Structure 1
Amino acid sequence: MSEPSTPAPSSGALVLFSGGQDSTVCLALALSRFERVETIGFDYGQRHAVELTQRSRIRAGLSDLFPEWRARLGEDHSLAIPTLNEISDTALTRDAEIVFSADGLPNTFVPGRNILFLTFAAALGYRRHIGTLVGGMCETDYSGYPDCREATIKATEQALSLGLDRPMEILTPLMHIDKAATWRLAEELGGEALVALVVEESHSCYLGDRSRRFDWGYGCGECPACTLRAAGWERYRAGR
């Protein structure tokens, strides 16, 4: 086999960083394990676009709170994908009531979103010589999205590695843990300081509501993302 025309991937990681709870914990985990960590976010016309604003605040908070991570935190990348909004008709991309279908899947599901995000991230990683992607996908405590399942991620990983003719690893450290365990992981990684940062600055609410403050953070308190986050927080606090 011929040698690749560009340098092999380094000991770095590219984190799919939305500004939500899960991706914030994944970013902290990556910073604890990799020498160089870059982040990528996507603006696809999401209803909760406030999450994009929170991304820079979380990155700044991590740098301020954890000097050892500051040197590892590299460049941030942001990509606009308006086409995803144009071809989607969901409560996450439209001003529509959040409802559940007969099979239990909420209409916040944006078909192909994670597959598309991973494809763009892999293309960027290829150019940046990064062979590891880190995402907060989870099939334990989640809304039932099929592109969050491990089988989907593994198939995408294989397709990207074949298509790029280079190994492209996708790490999903939250895949098999619930939201309570995600809160505990934040505490294990960065103590109360990291938990407080996740509470105050990360955003999960699908409605983009940051006018209401709960023990677990800001949100409407009623959408699927808020209920999952709140229930996980309660189990986490009860287990301490």
Structure 2
Amino acid sequence: MTDPRTALVLFSGGQDSTTCLAWALERHARVETLGFDYGQRHRIELDCRLTVLDELRARFPHWADRLGDDHVLDLSLIGQISDTALTSERAIELQADGLPNTFVPGRNLLFLGFAATLAYRRSASVLVGGMCETDYSGYPDCRDNTLKALQVALSLGLDAPMTVETPLMFLTKAQTWTLAHELGGDALVDLMIEHTHTCYLGERGRRHAWGHGCGHCPACALRASGHATWIGTRPGPAAG
């Protein structure tokens, strides 16, 4: 059954958020999308997300009627107050606290806070995000407990129910590829490989079997590994 509630998907234009968008379009009567310009090093994702939206509408007409307005918020203040490898030109490495320096402190907390504000104005009561604590880089704001606590805080602060959905929370990257294929078949997987962007360095020149990217940053390595595992577990053609 279709969920009558409007969902707002935090949509970066990457593999995970595109899978979440497809997941939401399968379930909700209306879906809107939200992106953030926060001074990210891989700002090219803001261009890719528009292409992905166009391709989704063209290739999946049964989703097109449900896919509503797209929004982009300027959160450049995040880049101004953070010092990370996602918001400045520096080598990606582990910090003394054990977290990678691609961790942008408070990013998901701010994202969901602003998303809830927009959702309230747009009469949406479901926020969908691609946070995951199975295949992730140790980011504390991707943990299930963090998101559950934030859901309570947002609902209380707005005095209105605000559900935070994280369909990838306990999936490996290989399982995320599987979910995408279950939702949209080869057409969705092909779209993701060709048009989404996940590389931390913002490189799109080389196209790998799993998509565009530098091929060596943590985001590319995780995506490539997950894709290889998924391909290795897919059933081959039946013998005839």
TM bucket normalised to smaller: over 0.9
Q: Alpha-carbon deviation of 1:183?
A: 0.3
Deviation track 1:171-217 (CA, whole Å, cap 9, x = no partner) reads: 00000000000001110000000000010111000000001111000
The reply on whether 1:96 has 2:90 as its aligned counterpart is yes
Name segments (4+ residues, structure 1) moved above 2 Å: 101-104
Q: Which amino acid aligns with 2:14?
A: G
Which of 28, 31, 40 aligns to 1:34? It is: 28
Which of 63, 67, 76 aligns to 1:69? It is: 63
Q: Alpha-carbon deviation of 1:85?
A: 0.5
Q: Alpha-carbon deviation of 1:104?
A: 3.6
**SS of structure 1 residue aligned to 2:48:** helix
Superposition TM-score, scaled by structure 2 size:
0.95
2:180 corresponds to: 186
Q: Which amino acid aligns with 1:45?
A: G
1:106 corresponds to: 100
Which of 207, 225, 234 aligns to 1:231? It is: 225
Q: Distance in 2 between matches of 1:54 and 1:89?
A: 25
Q: Distance in 1 between matches of 2:69 and 2:58?
A: 16
The reply on whether 1:145 has 2:139 as its aligned counterpart is yes
Which of 198, 203, 210 aligns to 1:204? It is: 198
Q: Which amino acid aligns with 1:180?
A: A
2:238 corresponds to: none
Which of 6, 15, 19 aligns to 1:21? It is: 15
Q: Which amino acid aligns with 2:179?
A: L
Which of 170, 181, 204 aligns to 1:176? It is: 170
**SS of structure 2 residue aligned to 1:198:** helix
Q: Distance in 2 between matches of 1:163 and 1:103?
A: 32
2:119 corresponds to: 125
The reply on whether 1:163 has 2:123 as its aligned counterpart is no
Deviation track 1:82-124 (CA, whole Å, cap 9, x = no partner) reads: 1110000000000000011245421000000000000000000
**SS of structure 2 residue aligned to 1:105:** coil
Q: Distance in 1 between matches of 2:15 and 2:119?
A: 23
Which of 73, 77, 80 aligns to 1:79? It is: 73
Deviation track 1:148-185 (CA, whole Å, cap 9, x = no partner) reads: 00011011111000000011000000000000000011
Q: Which moved more, 1:99-108 or 1:127-136?
A: 99-108
**SS of structure 2 residue aligned to 1:11:** strand
Q: Distance in 2 between matches of 1:217 and 1:102?
A: 32
2:237 corresponds to: none
Q: Determine what percentage of the aligned residue pairs are the same residue.
A: 62
Q: Distance in 2 between matches of 1:58 and 1:52?
A: 10
Q: Distance in 2 between matches of 1:74 and 1:104?
A: 40
1:222 corresponds to: 216
Superposition TM-score, scaled by structure 1 size:
0.95
